[in-house]
């Protein structure tokens, strides 16, 4: 049946647009049939589809990138600690206990031997660093101790105070009383025979070696390690006894251990986490201690 003339005239523009659309689709057909011909990163994304390589790039961007940056910052801080220890006690680790402990920490973090040696030999070429310990009151009434190595005390103080204030924290005398200085021996979660060391077994070994406490945690590589706590004066004796009992000590150092702990609300915990991350990103902040439960 023929269409009325009026309808036919009205439909003509629609037919033209339809024909134009068909021509465009015809020209695009080869591209749509062979999406692999598109250059990487310019492929058409269909709803619900995942472009090839997307997951791999996400891992590189969100995992490898941050880890590499954190590793770089860690090595820079260890370099500063090495140079400070050399200035304080000399370049011979046999005569400089602090230097020997830091070298072991470097090795436990897989810092290259060449980098360790270069840091020790490079003492005297740069500005002398000052060791500073700042006390602060963090979110939710938590106590913080911030260890800093800097060549400019005034600048470091201002930067730390600014970072604290942005998270609702502030410099505060008296936070030091919430911590005790102890010797801490970090031990691998596996013994010399590569057998896992259970926490119950570690508690028995702690008593035998003269340690006061022990707990289990994960290091930066998500490997299980054991932390043995003892008095400062008996640090090396306890370590020697643990090694003699088949454990593999990774490092021995003096640390601040909280003697009282506080529980934070969800909001305060989020603020504290952001503050600790910000402080950790600072090149001059060596370590931050907190008493958060």
The residue ranges of every structural domain in the chain are: 62-121, 130-290
Q: CA–CA separation, 11 vs 39, rounded Å?
A: 41
Which CATH fold topology does 130-290 show?
Alpha-Beta Plaits (3.30.70)
Q: CA–CA separation, 79 vs 69, rounded Å?
A: 15
pLDDT at 223: 79
CATH of the domain spanning 62-121: 1.10.10.200
**pLDDT tens-digit readout, 161-213:** 999 999 989 999 999 999 999 999 999 999 888 899 999 999 999 999 999 99
pLDDT at 292: 95
pLDDT at 4: 40
Task: Tell the residue number behind the tokens 């503050």, with chain if given.
Answer: 275
List of the chain residues with pLDDT < 70:
1-67, 124-127, 220-221
3-state SS, residue 112: coil
**pLDDT tens-digit readout, 38-60:** 333 333 333 333 333 333 333 33
pLDDT at 25: 44
pLDDT at 73: 87
Q: Do 145 and 108 touch, CB atoms closer than 8 A? A: no
pLDDT at 34: 43
Task: Tell the residue number behind the tokens 């009026």, with chain if given.
Answer: 6
Decide if 62-121 and 130-290 have a common fold.
no
Cα-based angle 62, 110, 279 (whole degrees, multiple of 5): 55
């Amino acid at each position: 049946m023929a269409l009325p003339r009026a309808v036919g005239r009205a439909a003509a523009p629609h037919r033209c647009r339809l024909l134009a659309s068909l021509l465009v689709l015809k020209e695009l057909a080869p591209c749509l049939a062979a999406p692999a011909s598109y250059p990487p990163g310019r492929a058409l994304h269909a709803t619900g589809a995942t472009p090839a390589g997307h997951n791999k790039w996400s891992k590189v961007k969100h995992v490898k990138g941050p880890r590499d940056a954190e590793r770089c910052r860690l090595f820079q801080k260890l370099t500063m600690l090495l140079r400070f220890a050399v200035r304080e006690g000399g370049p011979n680790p046999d005569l400089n206990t602090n230097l020997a402990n830091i070298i072991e920490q470097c090795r436990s973090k897989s810092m290259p031997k060449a980098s360790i040696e270069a840091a020790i030999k490079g003492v005297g070429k740069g500005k002398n660093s000052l060791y500073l310990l700042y006390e602060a009151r963090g979110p939710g009434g938590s106590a913080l101790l911030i260890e800093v190595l800097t060549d400019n005390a005034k600048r470091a103080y201002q930067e730390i105070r600014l970072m604290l204030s942005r998270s609702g924290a502030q410099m505060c005398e008296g936070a030091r009383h919430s911590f005790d200085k102890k010797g801490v021996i970090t031990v691998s979660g596996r013994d010399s025979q590569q057998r896992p060391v259970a926490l119950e077994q570690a508690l028995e070994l702690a008593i035998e070696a003269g340690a006061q406490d022990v707990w289990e945690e994960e290091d930066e590589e998500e490997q299980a390690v054991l932390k043995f706590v003892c008095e400062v004066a008996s640090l090396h004796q306890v370590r020697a006894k643990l090694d003699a009992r088949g454990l593999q000590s990774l490092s021995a150092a003096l640390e601040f251990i909280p003697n009282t702990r506080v529980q934070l609300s969800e909001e305060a915990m989020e603020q504290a986490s952001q503050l600790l991350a910000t402080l950790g990103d600072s090149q001059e902040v060596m370590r931050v201690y907190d008493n958060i439960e």
